[in-house]
């Protein structure tokens, strides 16, 4: 197998090995149980917090670990090998829960929310998606109006990760705050504490996969938050969201890369032990070639997210690279899950098998954090085309 370290530091390699061991020893043995129970294991999330994973890309002054975004991606990738639900809890908890507050919050907002969020004692969520607004955030219908220094928010959100856990502390909500007459709605972001009157968390979705990940619809009816809960400048909610989403796609690509790698490892192990007509199935050229293609996909996915992450941490433009990484890695995960299930045969159709869970989980990787079609649109525009 390819063992290129991609120029990672010794500290980063040690982190990746530590999280990999944690994934194998703590997450993997419990994954099927929690998948069956459809419950986010808070005890495992707390252990991840103790390892410092939620604080990886944040400075020590705000309680973080003082690392970088590459380090976060390494942790997400290592977890996704064995359980995508746990990996996306970290990815969304940091990228969508903490990052908007860290990037755009006031000093008071950061002091209030960051200590618990970066330590893993609490989780944050980002409420953007609606029934008719996701890829097209301009179609947002949730509204917020200012009344005597208080914002009153009305609307609904869908598919909001980490929004209904026992340790969810705050949800960032995007809402229309006006119409500047430019043909585009004025969108702003607000910090809504969990448990705020008028904020209703709907039942968890009956999802095809990611059973352990917490995902709920939200309804906001006359939710009132003070003016100081406005996150960033009024009218900058959309622009701030786009920056957060670009970063999130890099970590999402790392998650998909980990899933592709996990499928490869499971299939490679099985192909070496399963015998047919007196020889291992891995000795048959057809299976060997399937595994070779799986290796190529996983390696390509890793190179793509690593390239995007390096540009991100060095302050270089990375929007197109993030879309390439998200596109390549999600398709690699989907293809590797399909091939791994085929190699396992009937055993690949049993939920107790990690490969079967990857097969169910992988589809959403082509949808979340911007669909495949959105990535193609971004890349076409980057090429100077009008797609």
Give pLDDT tens digits for 181-191. Answer: 666 789 999 99
pLDDT tens readout for residues 43-62:
999 999 999 999 999 999 99
pLDDT at 182: 64
Does residue 103 lie within any of the structural domains?
A: yes
Is residue 146 domain-shared with residue 171, that is, in the same domain? Answer: yes
CATH number at residue 257: 1.20.140.10
Q: What share of the chain is helix, strand, coil (3-state, %, to 5)?
A: 55, 15, 25
Do residue 257 and residue 219 come from a single domain? no
- Per the CB < 8 A criterion, the answer to whether 136 and 241 are in contact is no
Query: In this structure, are 152 and 286 located in the same domain?
Result: no
Phi and psi at 154, nearest 5°, equal -135, 135
What pLDDT does residue 7 have?
81
Contacts 24+ apart (CB under 8 A), 271-280: 271/343
Residues 133 and 119 in one domain: no
Domain boundary among 201, 234, 267: 234
Which of the residues in the chain have pLDDT under 70?
Answer: 1-4, 135, 180-183, 387
Nearest 5°: phi and psi at 14? Answer: -65, -40
In a domain, 4, yes or no: no
Domain of residue 143, CATH code: 2.40.110.10
Q: How open is the CA angle 377-382-387, to the nearest 5 degrees?
A: 35
Yes or no: say if 205 and 218 are a contact pair by the CB < 8 Å rule.
no
369 is annotated as an active-site residue: yes
Residues 251 and 372 in one domain: yes
Instruction: State which residues form the domain around 33.
Output: 10-123
- Domain-ending residue, one of 195, 216, 234: 234
Q: Based on the domain organization, do 112 and 157 belong to the same domain? A: no
- Active-site hit among 91, 266, 321, 369: 369
Is residue 14 domain-shared with residue 112, that is, in the same domain? yes
C-beta neighbour count of 325 within 10 angstroms: 30
Do 265 and 299 have their domain in common? yes
Last residue of a domain, one of 99, 123, 147: 123
- Tell me the two tokens of residue 244: 């957060």
Q: Tell me whether residue 1 is in a domain.
A: no
CB 213 within 8 Å of CB 361: no
| 387 lies in some domain | no
Residue 5 is assigned to a structural domain of this protein: no
- Looking at the structure, do residues 246 and 265 belong to the same domain, yes or no? yes
The answer on 153 and 117 residing in a single domain is: no
Q: Is residue 2 part of a domain?
A: no
208 contacts 85 by C-beta, under 8 angstroms: no
Domain count, the chain: 3
Does 260 lie in the same domain as 152? no
> How far is the CA of 183 from the CAs of 178, 234, 237, 242, in angstroms?
11, 17, 16, 19
282, 227: one domain: no
Contact criterion met (CB below 8 Å) for 129 and 171: no
Decide: residue 79, CB within 10 A, 0-12 exposed, 13-18 middle, 19+ buried.
buried
Q: What CA–CA distances, in Å, run from 231 to 100, 104, 149, 164, 313?
A: 8, 6, 15, 21, 24
Query: From CA 184, how far away is CA 280, in angstroms rounded?
Result: 61
Residue 71 lies in a domain: yes
């Amino acid at each position: 197998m390819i063992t290129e370290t991609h120029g990672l530091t010794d500290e980063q390699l040690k982190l990746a090995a530590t999280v990999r061991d944690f994934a194998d020893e703590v997450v993997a043995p419990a994954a099927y149980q929690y998948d069956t129970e459809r419950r986010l294991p808070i005890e495992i999330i707390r252990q991840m917090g103790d390892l410092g994973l939620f604080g990886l890309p944040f400075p020590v002054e705000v309680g973080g670990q003082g690392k970088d975004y590459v380090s976060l991606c390494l942790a997400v990738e290592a977890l996704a090998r064995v359980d995508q639900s746990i990996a996306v809890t970290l990815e969304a908890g940091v990228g969508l829960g903490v990052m908007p507050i860290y990037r755009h919050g006031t000093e008071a907002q950061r002091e209030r929310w960051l200590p618990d969020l970066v330590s893993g004692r609490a989780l944050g969520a980002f409420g953007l998606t609606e029934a008719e607004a996701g890829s097209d955030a301009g179609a947002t219908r949730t509204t917020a109006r200012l009344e005597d220094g208080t914002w009153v928010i009305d609307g609904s959100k869908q598919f909001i990760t980490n929004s209904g856990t026992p340790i969810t502390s705050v949800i960032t909500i995007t809402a229309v705050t006006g119409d500047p007459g430019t043909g585009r709605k004025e969108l702003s972001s607000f910090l809504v504490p969990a448990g705020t009157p008028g904020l209703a968390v709907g039942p968890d979705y009956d999802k095809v996969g990611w059973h352990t990940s917490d995902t709920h619809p939200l309804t906001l009816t006359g939710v009132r938050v003070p003016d100081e809960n406005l996150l960033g400048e009024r009218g900058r909610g959309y622009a701030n969201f786009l920056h957060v989403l670009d970063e999130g796609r890099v970590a999402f690509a790392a998650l998909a890369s980990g899933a592709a790698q996990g499928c490869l490892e499971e299939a490679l192990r099985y192909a070496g032990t399963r015998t047919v007509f007196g020889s291992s199935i891995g000795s048959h050229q057809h299976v060997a070639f399937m595994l070779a293609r799986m290796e190529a996909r996983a390696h390509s996915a890793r190179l793509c997210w690593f390239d995007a992450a390096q540009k991100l941490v060095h302050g270089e433009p990375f929007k197109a690279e993030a879309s390439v990484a998200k596109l390549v890695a999600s398709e690699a995960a989907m293809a590797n899950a399909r091939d791994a299930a085929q190699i396992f045969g009937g055993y690949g159709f049993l939920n107790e098998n990690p490969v079967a869970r990857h097969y169910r989980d992988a589809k959403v990787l082509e949808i979340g954090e911007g669909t495949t079609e959105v990535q193609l649109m971004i890349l076409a525009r980057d090429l100077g085309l009008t797609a």
